[in-house]
Structure 1
Amino acid sequence: MDFEEIVIPTERLSFPALAAGEGPIVVCWHGFPDHPASFGPLAERLVAAGRRVVAPFLRGHHPSTFDQLPFADGLTLAADAAAVNAALSPEPLDVIGHDIGAGVAGRLAAGWPSRVRRVITMSVPPPATLRHIFDDPAQQQRFFYLFMFQVPGVAESLLNSTLIEYLWRTWSPGLSVPPHVLSMYEDPQLRANALKLYRANFDRSLHDPSLSSMAQATEKPAPIPMLVLAGAQDGCITPDNYTDAATGLAPGSRVEIVADAGHFLQLDRPDEVAALALDWLR
C-alpha cells in the first residue's frame, strides 16, 4: 500500500499519520509492537471500496512526538483519538483499533460517542471486561512481557528485536515481523515510550489528572455498538477471553472469531477482515 505521510494538527498535539484513498474516513490506531503501516493490506481493501484510511502514530511513537508523552494512560490516548477525529471532520468518523489501538477505540466510543460513527476493535476484548482477564493464570503467563516491562533496567535491556520477533512469532504463528516494525523499534526513545504505556497500567503518576473525571465513563461499555474481532490462533489473548465480551458491549454489537488468524489478524487474513469491516462500516 502506498501511503502518504500527513500531519493532523489538533488542540492536543500535531499527530503524524499515514493516509491513502479518497472518500469517507476510517481512522486506524495501531498497537504494540507495531506501526501504522501494518494496516497496509487492510487499507488497500478499504481504499478499493471507496474509503480514505488515516492511520496515526500513537503519541510518542514518531520522532516528532518522542518528547510529547508526559502521560501514557489509555485515557490520554483516547482523548488524542477524539481530538484527531474532531480535526479531521465535524461529523462522526469510523474507527478501527488493533491491540493498544483497540483500547483507544473502545474508550473513545465510551467517552466521546459523538465523535464516532462505527467502531471495530481487534485482538483485545472491550475495556469494560478487561479487569477479568488477569483472573486466568495461563493468560498471566502470556502477559509475561507486561510484568517484565515494569522492572527498570531489565525492561530497557530486553525490549529489543529478539523479543519483538518472539512476540510476533508467538502471537501470530508463521508471521514474520515487517521490516518497518523492527526499524521503528530500533530507536531507544520510542522503546522508552512503549514501556511508559505499559507502566501506566500500574503507575498512577503517568495518568493525566486533567482527564480523571472521565476515567469511570471510559471503562464502562460504550453506548455505540462495536464489532469485536479476534484471531482463532491468537497467542497473546486467546479466543476464550472473549466469552463474556457481550457484557462490555452495547446492544447490537458482535464478536467474530476469525479462523486461521493470529493476533495480527489484519495481516494474517486481510480478505476476511476487510469483508467483515466493510460490512460493519456500511
Structure 2
Amino acid sequence: MAAQMNERVVRASKLNFTVLEIGEGPLVLCLHGFPDTAHSFRNQMPALADAGYHAVAPFMRGYAPTEPAPDGRYDSPVLSEDALALIEALGYQEAVLFGHDWGAVAAYGAAARAPNVVQKLITAAVPYGTSFFQALVTNYAQQRRSWYMFFFQTAIAETAVSLNDFAFLEKMWRDWSPGWNWTQPEMEALKRCFRAKGTLEAALGYYRATLGPVLKIPAQPSALATAMAAPIEVPTLMFHGRDDGCIGAELLSGMEALFPRGLKIDVVPGAGHFVHQEKPDHVNRLMLQFLRQGI
C-alpha cells in the first residue's frame, strides 16, 4: 500500500506553492483546474504511488494555501512556466504531467515548450489547438457552455460567485458533471480554498488574463489561440467526459494532427467535466497502462 499523503511548501517561480505528495520514484506532477484544488487527484495519487511513482499535486498559483501572484500574472504562459519550475524545484530533470482543465492548459504549454523535460502527457477535459477559441465565436452550443468566462470579466463576478458561501461553485460542478455524486467533504475542501483571502480573485484572474484582452480589441478566431497551436512532441493520453457540460466533446476533433508522437483520446461515457474524479477506476487503469506501455 502507498504511504501517507503529505503536504509541504515548495518554492518555485518566486512563489511558495503548497503541494500534496505521496510515493517515491519518477515524478508525476498533477495540475488542477477550476473550480478545484490539489485534492482533485486524490484518487489518482495513491494509485501512482503504489505503481512506483512520486505523485505531487500543487495548489495552483493563487489557490490557497499557495500564494497569490505578486505581479498579478495568471496567463497561460506563466502557468506552463510554473509546471516546469516545479519539476526543477522538486529535484527532477524530467516528469510526467497530468493536467485537468486549467492544469491541462499549463501541461500542454509546458510540453510544447520543453519536450525534453515532459516525458509523457496526460490531460483531461480541455482540448488542445484552436478549436475551443474558434468555438467561442462560431459554435452556439459552446457559447452557451462558456457563458461564465464572459461573466467573469465583469466587476460583479466576485460578489456573485461568493454569494451564499460559494453556492455558485456547487452549481457549476452540477452543471459541468451532471451525473457526479460528490461527497460533502469534497465540496467543503473546494469552498475552504475559495473562502481564503485572494483565491477567488486569483481564480477569476485566469479567465481575465485569457479573455480580457480579446474583448478590448477586434480579433479573428484563428488568432485567439496561437499559444495552443504548436505541435506537441510528447506521447499524450487525453480523457474527456462524454457528458461534459463545460466543453463539448466535438471540440476534440482534429487534435491528433498536433501530436506527432501519438495521441490517444478516451471519451468516457457517463462522465462529465471532472472525469478523473467521476470515473477514477477507469482513468487509473488507462493512466497506469499508458505510463507502463505507452499508447
Give the CA deviation at 1:16.
Answer: 1.5
Note if contact 2:22-2:55 (Cα within 8 Å) is conserved in structure 1: yes
1:4-153 to structure 2, matched below 5 A, reads 4-134=6-136, 135-152=138-155
Contact 2:59 2:66 (C-alpha < 8 Å) held by counterparts: no
Q: Check conservation: 2:68, 2:198, Cα contact below 8 A.
A: yes
**Pairing partner for 2:243 from 225, 229, 233:** 233
Identity among equivalent pairs (%): 34
**Residues in 2 aligned to 1:30 and 1:141: alpha-carbon distance in whole angstroms:** 24
Deviation, structure 1 residue 217: 6.0
The C-alpha deviation readout for 1:103-139, integer Å capped at 9, x for no partner, is 0000000012222100001000014543333221111
With normalisation by structure 2, the TM-score equals 0.86
Greater Cα offset, 166-175 or 263-272: 166-175
Q: State the one-letter code of the partner of 1:230.
A: H
**RMSD across aligned C-alpha pairs, in angstroms?**
2.1
Distance 1:47 1:58 in 2: 21
What is the CA deviation profile of residues 21-70 of structure 1, one whole-angstrom value per residue up to 9, with x for unaligned ones? 12221100000000101210111222222221100111111245125352
Query: Does structure 2 retain, via aligned residues, the 8 Å contact 1:75–1:218?
Result: no
Aligned twin of 2:171:
166
Which residue in 2 is equivalent to 1:259?
A: 269
Match of 2:255 in 1: 245
Mean Cα deviation higher: 102-111 or 222-231: 222-231
The number of equivalent residue pairs is: 272
Q: Partner amino acid for 1:121? A: T
Distance 1:217 1:145 in 2: 22
Structure 2 Cα separation of the partners of residues 255 and 20 of structure 1: 27
Match of 1:187 in 2: 196
Give CA deviations for 1:205-259 in whole Å, capped at 9, x if unaligned: 9xxxxxxxxx956641212121111011211112112122223333411111112
Residues 118 and 67 (structure 1), Cα distance of their counterparts in 2 relative to 1, 3 Å cut:
closer
Amino acid at match of 2:17: F
1:224 paired to 2:234: yes
- Compute the displacement of 1:202 (Å): 2.6
Give unmatched runs, 5+ long, in structure 2.
215-224
Kept after mapping to 2: 8 A contact 1:98/1:121: yes
User: What is the CA–CA distance in structure 1 between the aligned matches of 2:210 and 2:69, rounded to whole Å?
Assistant: 20
> Unaligned regions of 5+ residues in structure 1, if any?
206-214
Asked if the contact 2:170–2:187 (Cα under 8 Å) also holds between the matched residues in 1, the reply is no
Would the aligned equivalents of 1:110 and 1:222 in 2 still touch at CA under 8 Å? yes
